[in-house]
Amino acid sequence: MKAAPADQRRLLDLAELDARIRRAEHAQSHPPQALRVKELLSQRVTLSQELSRRAGARDDLKLELSRIESDVAVVEARSARDAQRLAASSNSKEAQGLESELASLARRTSDLEDAELVVMERLEAAEAAVTEQEAIVAATNEEGTRLSAEAKEAVTAAQHDLSNAQRDRAAVAGDIAPALVALYDRLGTRGNAAGLLRRGTCEACHMVLSGTDMNSVRSAPDDDVIFCPECGAILVRTDESGIW
């Protein structure tokens, strides 16, 4: 195939724009924050489950404390009633029975108060555990919200860059012979379509051409479209190619 050397050199601009388009497309679909956001979403499920567990344990202790306090109130009411009956009683046998019951109620009150202190200490620790977990969940949510916003900004920037690169590509391709562009596009479906031949090295695949291949390149007319023997990309010849 024949093509003007100037058109062949423009293929390098096309290749650069295509690389820019690929980077923009990748950035658009894979913002750098995406992986961390995905990790945070997974962590949030685990953290929320742990928060629910801690909150459940705290609520159980609150219920237990409420039952103890209710029992204390019942015992105190019973003690107050027995004390009144004792004060009003003139029957020694009845008085003896009331005194015995009051002693039993006093022991029961002491036991309940001891249990109440234990539960209160456990409840305090459970409240602290819930507060700690809430802070972790809040920090995770905050980081997720911040990174999600940054990801949206990155996607928007990538979309803008993609649009500009596609516009520039259309302009460059419009200045090149259609047949050459068609060849370039066809080659591009399987890999790098064009690369600069710089000092005997194909920059599309970074392979050094053999002496025989370089002799073939040197003998080819300027308007011949030649290809890298290794990757098949169009070899673009310039003063940097080392053939003149």
Beta-strand runs (E) in the chain: 194-198, 201-202, 207-208, 226-227, 234-237
Query: 226: burial class by Cβ within 10 Å (0-12, 13-18, 19+)?
Result: middle
d(CA 232, CA 228) in angstroms, rounded, equals: 5
Q: What is the mean pLDDT of residues 66-87?
A: 93
pLDDT, one tens digit per residue, over 55-75 is: 999 999 999 999 999 999 999
pLDDT value of position 57: 97
**CATH node for 28-159:** 1.10.287.1490
Query: Could you tell me whether strands 234-237 and 194-198 are parallel, antiparallel, or unpaired per DSSP bridges?
Result: parallel
Report pLDDT for 98: 84
Per-residue pLDDT at 233 exceeds 70: yes
Dist CA 244 CA 238 (whole Å): 9
Q: pTM of the predicted model, to two decimals? A: 0.70
Q: Kindly report which listed range (24-33, 103-112, 235-244) carries the lowest average pLDDT score.
A: 235-244
Is residue 91 predicted with pLDDT exceeding 90? no
Q: What is the pLDDT of residues 38-60, one digit of tens each?
A: 999 999 999 999 999 999 999 99
5-26+175-241 topology per CATH: Helix Hairpins (1.10.287)
pLDDT at residue 244 is higher than 70: no
Residue ranges matching CATH 1.10.287.1490 in the chain: 5-26+175-241, 28-159
- pLDDT at res. 225: 97
207-208: strand order across its sheet: 207-208, 201-202, 194-198, 234-237, 226-227
Give the residue-averaged pLDDT of 183-190. 94
* Average pLDDT, integer, range 66-86: 93
